[in-house]
Amino acid sequence: MPSSARLIVLVAALLGALGVVLGAFGAHGLKQRLAPELLALWQTAVQYHLWHALAMLAAGLLSLQLPQQPWLRAAAVLFFAGTALFSGSLYALALGAPRMLGAATPFGGLALISGWACLAVAALRA
């Protein structure tokens, strides 16, 4: 397995595991501690986190078949950065971080959208 593909798959797997841990923490550890709207915010973060861990995994697995495709690596990086910014800011807001941290959320969303666009370009150039 090429080293960049291996790294993408590894990071995607770790990102997925972290998403499951944070989902369980929200369902069991925060259920009685957060207001319903903050728990819903946490769940949104978990959903985007897990979906984009899978998207990053797909980019890594596709890069095994297309090792010279830079768009797949770009997609993986954007999925990771977008998850960190989007879901990370939502997790923090749900836990009481200052509202100004919410300014990072749209940048995370833009990174996630850009990751999907890079994946589309990779498919067109394959």
C-alpha torsion sign, points 30, 84, 126, 4 = negative
Instruction: Give the type of residue at 56.
Output: M
Domain boundaries, the chain: 3-125
Q: What is the pLDDT of residues 20-51, one digit of tens each?
A: 999 999 999 999 999 999 999 999 999 999 99
Q: How many CB atoms lie within 10 A of CB 61?
A: 15
Query: What rounded mean pLDDT belongs to the chain?
Result: 96
pLDDT higher than 80, residue 1: no
